[in-house]
Amino acid sequence: MPAFMEPFRIKAVEPIPFPSVAGREAALTEAGYNIFRVPARLITIDLLTDSGTSAMSAAQWSALLSGDESYAGARSFERFERVVRDLTGYPEVIPVHQGRAAERIVLHELLGEGDVSVSNTHFDSTRASVEAAGAEAVDLPVEYDDTAPFGGGIDIERLGRLLAGDARVRCVVLTVTNNANGGQPVSIGNARAVRHMCDEHDVPFLLDASRFAENAYLVISRSPDMTDRTPREIAGEIWLS
């Protein structure tokens, strides 16, 4: 295949706007520089989120039409449940419509006024849930180094000091990849160290695995000793670290 050809056919097109520089400036001003308030009809390329803004594949559209939407006992859920159990080893699978709903439920159960939640970097909605519960969100990302293969983990030394010296810590949230810190991946070693430290101090370890598949790919591509592993095997190790 020629290098200039895309490896797919485009089956649908959607017109997009091309506002002028003045038009974009006016839209930002009117929105109070809050990009959540800029109308989508004025956006040429949507970089606000990676949550479902791209085109779906032919296989995804087919699955949408052949999926079982039964109110209870759907075969689509059976498949979902089977895959999640296989990846995580957890017997209980409780679906929610979106990760933001899950984190709100979990964090409001764990946290209260004056408590502390620690993370490699709290995602914006995660921080909102923490603070809505009256708690404090503390970010402990590893020191930035653009030559390091893994820049998304938690600073283990600072985490150890915090867990040893602050009894208010009620949970540690490890987000893979670290979306709020440039989408940097988290190494298997960092995930294991965080889990071990949480167990040692009897603090719940929460894995926000919204991008665990991408993280698994980056672990393989950036770790010389992992090149013979599959993404599924790496994903399993992250969950069971």
Instruction: Identify the structural domains of the chain with CATH numbers, from first to last.
Output: 16-61 (no CATH), 96-239 (3.40.640.10)
Report the pLDDT value the prediction gives residue 156, as an integer from 0 to 100.
96
- Tell me the mean pLDDT in the region 176-193: 91
Q: Does pLDDT of 228 surpass 80?
A: yes
Give the model confidence (pLDDT) of 79-102 as tens digits.
999 998 988 888 999 888 888 899
Question: Are the beta carbons of 207 and 153 closer than 8 angstroms?
Answer: no
Strand order across the beta sheet in which 169-175 lies = 136-139, 116-119, 169-175, 205-208
Report the pLDDT value the prediction gives residue 235, as an integer from 0 to 100.
85
Q: What is the DSSP letter of 216?
A: H
Report the pLDDT value the prediction gives residue 2, as an integer from 0 to 100.
60
pTM, two decimals, is 0.81
Question: Are the beta carbons of 178 and 155 closer than 8 angstroms?
Answer: no
| Number of CB atoms found within 10 A of residue 194's CB | 24
- What proportion of the chain, given as a percentage, has pLDDT over 90? 54
Q: What are 36's two structure tokens? A: 């959540």
- Distance set, CA 178 to CA 45, 75, 154, 199 (Å): 22, 33, 10, 22
Give the model confidence (pLDDT) of 1-37 as tens digits.
566 777 888 888 888 899 999 999 999 999 999 988 9
Q: Which residue has the tokens 């290098």?
A: 3
Residues in the chain: 241
- Distance set, CA 201 to CA 92, 132, 167, 241 (Å): 25, 25, 10, 16
Q: Which residue has the tokens 């294991």?
A: 192
- Distance set, CA 19 to CA 35, 38, 129, 131 (Å): 15, 13, 35, 37
Question: Are the beta carbons of 141 and 179 closer than 8 angstroms?
Answer: no
Q: Identify which of 165, 112, 155 has the alpha carbon closest to the alpha carbon of residue 136.
A: 112
